[in-house]
Structure 1
């Protein structure tokens, strides 16, 4: 309900950003994550879609396992991106993301939904065309 209020209260500009954040949480929980390079090593991981000025548009809590999608050809990260971007596809947005999410196939898929992507691309992704290796 909160996310639907966020989405209805604000019409975002062209630029959107996708990233993850970690909420410090030390108690027992089966989907709590451990990231050794973070200052707060234990916590709850969130995938967030925001505007360029930081307004939260969509959020998803990482719960340890991926929901079953009817789109079985998606990787786990592609599925997260597509779920978060669903209300904003076909509207001409630009999505900024880091190399954790970005792939050649995802960029092509988003472009078919009139959404441009910006970000770094890992050179060792299996789905990259040979000319990017």
Structure 2
């Protein structure tokens, strides 16, 4: 089965809003399951890779970007990144050839969700610490 077909099949079984936006591109919106609101994930097949990306947290001077870089050393397939506005994103890639079944897609998306949850938890803890210091 082609990777795009495996992804289509996997997404059909997900809760939340899923959509196919182009031949090899999908969008997923998961409801408020993790702190910070809904989670929007984009998927795209290009150049032999399945790429997933999700917005994690908005820019915040209190966040230690070096902590995110340190986390990158501990993750598999997933990494934290930033845009020019300093918003934090989670990105993940896996070779299309590794997508043998829906479990492969589930593993990749699970790692993305886990990373976003960790970033949002870190941001919330940082905000609480900043608030308690300013009292």
Pair in the same fold by TM > 0.5? no
TM-score, scaled to structure 1: 0.24
TM-score (norm 2): 0.24
The structure where helix makes up a greater share of residues is 2
